[in-house]
Structure 1
Amino acid sequence: MDYKVMLDTIWVIVASMLVFFMNLGFAMVESGFNRSKNTVNILSKNFIVFAVSTLGYLMLGWGLMFGDGNAFVGLKGWFFLNGLDNSPAVGQSYLGVYSALSWASVPLLAKFFFQLVFCGTAATIVSGAVAERIKYLSFILFSFIMTIFIYPITGHWIWGAGWLQKLGMLDFAGSTVVHSVGGWAAMAGIMVLGPRFGKYGNNGKITPIPGHNLSIATMGTFVLWFGWFGFNPGSTMAADFNAISHIAVTTNTAAATATLSATIASWVILGKPDLGMTLNGCLAGLVAITAGCAYVSISSSLIIGLISGLLVVLSVIGFDRLKLDDPVGALSVHLLNGIFGTLAVGLFAQDKIGGFSSPNGLFYGGGVKLFLAQLAGVFTVGAYVFTISYVVWLVLKITLGIRVSLQEEIQGLDIGEHGNYAYPEFLIRKNY
């Protein structure tokens, strides 16, 4: 019996469960940051999106992402559903089919499950950004298309032995592969969908629409912070105690310093320490460190966190001024800090600092080669994901429609889309 493979497999499955648990965190954060009349809708979207992601990734997304093929797409291992009963023995990886993952010794199904929960995370990022005005069915269809054709293609470029991986781009746990991809898809949706009713006045005035439950949002952020210790350390796909320990500390350090810098920035800019900014600051730090958690030092993770916390406050304000209505700050957290975190690898990376070989970044004598590879990844992934997503959203708008009626938006999507309320006692009180 190979005890190393056994321990590696247990670690990968436990880490996968932690990442799966992040779905609860997203549901809580998004529902808390939105109005009570849309709570059922948001919770339902967050719940069903993982089921949709599972089917899409199982049938086609996995093969497109990790199947052997060319520099742009996987051409083998499609319709993974047909091969489950013939999955290889422990330690094998279907060489010649999924060679990009042959470096990990765990069973093929453990690799699949770990990558599946990442796919689900990318899809659920979109949910909060388009909240309070999108049709339920249109969101489900977009999520399905995203998990089949959008997320896996760019994932192949970076993690599936594609052209960006060969160029030298590094993204250890997905600042670009997961978070920026979700952010670009969300931005396209926001632009096609338009802002919520009453958010922006004709005179340029911005009307704040506060969330209904910051208690739930705070608990959700704690859940996400906790789940990230599966997200980043789990990407080792092995129970390497030194690497896991290093990654856990860089991840936590960035989250902590981003929390503080976002709180201070909101205090200075807005006059009060805004809790919503504090929570998003924490998430921004987690997103930003995700690409480089294995490649940067503890001190570098501290700096990355400080910068990301400031960025999220400035960008939430900036996106509002651009009239990009994002109820939960997903663009600021996942898109902008996904980009920043990816570029930060090109600046702060140090060879073998976390046990992994990598080029040194610009600040550690490595020159600009790694930074340029990171920059190429940011631009090309952004161009592909935004363009395809925008087209998909437009097609859905022309065919099914993507926005609920004004009456339904005012009344709330809970009753219009689902026929019930998250807080029925509100109705009882109105009747007395």
Structure 2
Amino acid sequence: MDEMFYLNSLWTMLAAILVIFMIGGFILLEAGSTRMKNAGHIAGKTIFSVGLTFLVFWAVGYGFIFGGDGNFFVGMTDFFVSGAESGASDVSDAVFFVFQSAFAAIAVCIALGGFAERAKFPVYVGFTILFSAFVYPVVAHWIWGGGWLAAHEKQDFAGSTVVHLTGAMAALAATILLKPRIGKYNKDGSANNLAGHNQVYTTLAVLILWVGWFGFNAGSTTSVDGAFFGYVALNTNLAAAVGAVAALAISWVVLGKSDIVTTLNGALAGLVAITASCAFVEPWAAVVIGLVAGLLVFYSTKFFDKMKIDDPIFALSVHGAAGVWGTLSNGLFATPELAAANGGSAGLFYGGGFGQLGVQAMGVFTAGLYAFVASFIILFILKKLMNGLRVSEEEEIMGLDISEHGNYGYPEEFLTEKNNNNKLTS
């Protein structure tokens, strides 16, 4: 094994650490975007779900994606990963496994956002196991593991479809079956703002995710050769920056206020959108992709609210709508040189015609449909087995911290309020 093998492995391991640290961003994002009475539950179930995901991915998920003797649908070997080095790759097999397991965990975090503030804890357990085994790995195999979409040269460098759209479509299935939170919509169809309890948390979360995304996108090179990871990082940074600015601008124009939540969602939407195309497009195109994502996330949140789809952490807009746009953008902006180096053909605006755009659209439709239908079936079965997916009305009003775990995430706040109420009634 030469020096390049060790350098590639070191870089990929560093990227894996960055991606795993993104889970901290998701904890703060989801906890801050929801109400105080559910904060401890959301933080705790995330760590548990991620741990469960890593175990399932080690047992079967990795093999279903990258296992040999596979077919167009799923891989069939490399279960219960041993960590032994084959010497057949330019990066450590064990490091690559850790890196890929982090992507699976991120997809789970996105999916579980659709459960926020109303799902039973055992539902999280059952869904995490089945999603990690039979939903995410199948889509990942189709695109990254040599499956049928890979054979059509679908472009998705770091996972706008594989990770983000898959997670978002699972979240959509959850929001439909769980139905809106108590008090979210009025009888006339108008929506109430069940505001998150900590905007500082959500802002810090976006910063953590932004930094972690350099591991997500640039780390997907799994190589230091030619320092191409720097080019990927440049595109990633530009898209995030313009996504935040565009979202702030459109909220200012439409609402008359520079809405902070919209700005944060714009940055994340820019990151999601550039994830597919960061290795295929020029920097000016990355700016356009991030700009459109920032505008799209603003209007898509309005659309989902109008459709009475209660999405507390905006997974459908940030990861779904932006994931679709980011994947399709390859079919528009991929350059001939970068497409040749990273797989696929040039985009429409570079003389490639509609071929690559068609492949991208086919990938979005089939992967999104599979993720939604499979997740819906899993949740429907769990609903029957567990006598419902949702906590009781009393438990939801009480908050999942105390009803599901017996402890408050903010004990001083709630216990002080309880003691004051007792004094008033005594």
Deviations 1:164-221 (A, max 9, x none): 0111101000000000000000000100110000101111121111000000110011
User: What's the counterpart of residue 399 of structure 1?
Assistant: 385
3-state SS of the aligned residue for 2:376?
A: helix
1:356 Cα offset (Å): 3.6
Report the identity percentage.
44
- Confirm or deny: 8 A CA contact 2:72 2:142 kept in the other structure: yes
1:151 Cα offset (Å): 0.4
3-state SS of the aligned residue for 2:192?
A: coil
User: What's the counterpart of residue 16 of structure 2?
Assistant: 16
1:53 aligns with 2:53: yes
1:427 Cα offset (Å): 2.6
User: What's the counterpart of residue 101 of structure 1?
Assistant: none
**1:272-351 matched pairs, under 5 angstroms:** 272-351=257-336
Q: Which runs of 5+ in 1 are unaligned?
A: 93-103
**1:216-231 matched pairs, under 5 angstroms:** 216-231=201-216
Out of 342, 345, 365, the residue aligned to residue 351 of structure 2 is 365
User: What's the counterpart of residue 257 of structure 1?
Assistant: 242
Tell me, in whole angstroms, the C-alpha distance in 1 between the residues paired with 2:114 and 2:254: 24
Out of 186, 200, 203, the residue aligned to residue 188 of structure 2 is 203
Tell me, in whole angstroms, the C-alpha distance in 1 between the residues paired with 2:171 and 2:366: 17
User: What's the counterpart of residue 411 of structure 2?
Assistant: 424
**1:9-408 matched pairs, under 5 angstroms:** 9-68=9-68, 69-80=70-81, 83-84=82-83, 87-89=84-86, 91-92=87-88, 104-353=89-338, 356=342, 358-400=344-386, 401-408=388-395
Deviations 1:126-150 (A, max 9, x none): 2222200011110121011111000
3-state SS of the aligned residue for 1:29?
A: helix
Please report the RMSD computed on the Cα atoms of aligned residues, expressed in angstroms.
1.2
Structure-2-length-normalised TM-score: 0.96
Structure 2: which amino acid aligns with 1:23? I
Aligned length, in residue pairs: 416
Tell me, in whole angstroms, the C-alpha distance in 2 between the residues paired with 1:53 and 1:357: 29
- Confirm or deny: 8 A CA contact 2:336 2:350 kept in the other structure: no
- Confirm or deny: 8 A CA contact 1:289 1:301 kept in the other structure: yes
Tell me, in whole angstroms, the C-alpha distance in 2 between the residues paired with 1:116 and 1:328: 23
- Confirm or deny: 8 A CA contact 1:33 1:210 kept in the other structure: yes
1:88 Cα offset (Å): 2.3
Q: Which runs of 5+ in 2 are unaligned?
A: 421-426
- Confirm or deny: 8 A CA contact 1:295 1:358 kept in the other structure: no
Structure 2: which amino acid aligns with 1:250? N
Tell me, in whole angstroms, the C-alpha distance in 2 between the residues paired with 1:188 and 1:383: 11
Out of 370, 373, 397, the residue aligned to residue 410 of structure 1 is 397
Structure-1-length-normalised TM-score: 0.94
3-state SS of the aligned residue for 1:73?
A: coil
More off after superposition, 287-296 vs 269-278: 269-278
1:425 Cα offset (Å): 1.4
